[in-house]
Structure 1
Amino acid sequence: MNQLIDALSDPENKMEKFLGSTLGSMVPMSSAMRGYVNTGPYLREARSLLDRMLKDIPGYSQGLPPRRDIYGEPVARRIGVSTTMKEDPVEAEVNRIMLETSEGISMPQPTHNGVDLREITLKSGQNAYDRYQELAAKPEDKGPSLKESLEKLISTEDYQAMPDGETSQLGSRLNAIQGIIQKYRAVAFKRLQMENPEIGAAMLQHKYKAAAKYLDNKGQTSAGDQLRKSLGLPSSQ
């Protein structure tokens, strides 16, 4: 009931997740299968209603993209309450800043110029948003990864002399971290577009559709229809 009330409070962002989880729990033997579905090393990302319904069905979860962290790296599955994994200095520093300032790093933006990368499947079969996150972790094959660049940053004397501050505060630690992350994401998105020209075409089409709508609102419907015709779209009539 609490989950339903929470979903009703923000249906646009939470209702689909609630319905997917609820319907998925109705799948016969779903509880028994849950521990045997994803035997891979990474957690999987269920985004659509169908994904959330079927993520506990053996064989289906392997087709879902891996869940990635803010650095673009896949999140490893951890079984049990203890771990022998070495502490990550970058994650430790970002977590410390979050506790001190209540600010942190957000996930990469999935929507660019009106195009939702989560809704695009590339010719390779990979989800466009997953590929974008993957590239954000390491956009250059021979260059350092994002984590490596951040680890180098936080080990410098200049960084240690910076105040924690807010993300928007120039000269703060969080601002320096965010600056490197944004540079990596910008390079990653450019490479994503170079690899997949259809993404650029989709963004251009969205731009032209918005321009056609603007002409409609200005009373220039014929000009708007002419623009839509050039895109192979139906007229406003």
Structure 2
Amino acid sequence: MMPKLWRKPRGITTRKGLWSNKEYDAVDTEVMRLGIENGSTISRPSPSHNGVDLRDVVLAGSQALPEWTGRNAYAVYQELAGRMTERHPSLKSIVARVMASDVYKRAPDGDMATKGTKLWMLHGPIERYRKAAFRFLLRDPAVREAVQAKQMKVVEHYRGQPASRPDAAAFAWAGREVLRGGA
């Protein structure tokens, strides 16, 4: 008999990330296969959005979303990217449906950037879920403030730069002169 120290607890999986539910073993297996045979697979959601690292943002919560108060924005973003609400199907169930389709089964393996490959087919729904999750996360005042602060930083940077192109009035005047035949 194996000593208790080396036994795995029952019912607990050690996989982390998007694919951690035993209910969808076919999805887990296919994602692992894509990674092994393709050398690339579905990546985790990026922690950086609009120049803001969500790992550095602590959610303020609101009356509408009090359960978010004090939580890390990236952790909540990952949860939302997997399932927005109970009314919406989980991303994993959408991916399972795509993988079960005849079109997916006939598609070749390959890079996500190559149209028609299996990873390319999976990228669309995954990216839509992630974009929707970020839009949903923007409801939190702390995330909104961080994004606006970053945008203002960019605006201020460009305000301090010298004009590197002619202004519109000078360009329009030069254009009229060329049309009239002048130089």
TM over 0.5: yes
Length-normalised TM-score, structure 2: 0.71
2:143 match = 199
Q: For 1:107, which of 44, 49, 62 is the aligned residue? A: 44
- Aligned-residue RMSD, C-alpha: 2.3
Spell out structure 1 runs of 4+ moving beyond 3 A: none
Alignment of 1:155 onto 2:100: yes
1:181 aligned partner, one-letter code:
I
Q: For 1:212, which of 146, 152, 156 is the aligned residue? A: 156
> Which is greater in Rg?
2
If asked which structure has higher relative contact order (CA below 8 Å, sep 6+), I would say 2
2:54 match = 117
Q: Percent identity?
A: 34
Deviation at 1:181, TM superposition (A): 0.9
* Offset from partner CA, 1:52-90 (integer Å, 9 cap, x none): xxxxxxxxxxxxxxx951x2x6x58xxxxxxxx677111
1:176 aligned partner, one-letter code:
M
Does the residue aligned with 2:138 lie in a helix, a strand or coil?
A: helix
Deviation at 1:139, TM superposition (A): 1.2
- Give the 5 Å matches for 1:168-207: 168-194=113-139, 196-207=140-151
- Could you tell me which runs of 5 or more consecutive residues in structure 2 were left unpaired when the two chains were aligned: 1-11, 61-68, 164-183
Matches of 2:30 and 2:161 in 1, distance apart? Answer: 50
1:17 match = none
Length-normalised TM-score, structure 1: 0.55
- Give the 5 Å matches for 1:1-237: 68-69=16-17, 71=18, 88-123=25-60, 124-194=69-139, 196-218=140-162
- Could you tell me which runs of 5 or more consecutive residues in structure 1 were left unpaired when the two chains were aligned: 1-40, 44-66, 77-84, 220-237
1:215 aligned partner, one-letter code:
R
Matches of 2:97 and 2:115 in 1, distance apart? Answer: 19
2:88 aligned partner, one-letter code:
G
1:119 aligned partner, one-letter code:
D
